Amino acid sequence: MDGKNRNNIKTGITVDIVLKKDQRSGKLTRGIVKDILTKSPSHPHGIKVRLEDGQVGRVQQVINS
């Protein structure tokens, strides 16, 4: 699943996100969702989340739900 729709993302699932500093390179960071920061139902660049380790980025792919 992609990370553009908010209803695909729940707290506690594993996702790949792109951090702000990695947007140019496209490097992905894997982690577990702690908070969903985007309020709108969808976003063209991915829903913004905070991982359990505190990193913030936009979801590119949902690994498991």
Domain CATH number, residue 44: 2.30.30
Domain-located, residue 48 = yes
Per-residue model confidence (pLDDT) at position 21:
95
Domain-located, residue 1 = no
Tracing tokens 């996100």 back to the chain, one arrives at 17
> Can you give the residue range of the structural domain that contains 42?
6-64
What's the pTM? Answer: 0.91
Per-residue model confidence (pLDDT) at position 38:
96
Domain-located, residue 40 = yes
What residues of the chain score a pLDDT lower than 50? none
Q: Cβ distance 49 to 37 under 8 Å?
A: yes
For the chain, what is the domain count? 1
Alpha carbons 51 and 35: distance in angstroms, whole number: 7
Per-residue model confidence (pLDDT) at position 52:
98
Alpha carbons 63 and 33: distance in angstroms, whole number: 11
Domain-located, residue 52 = yes
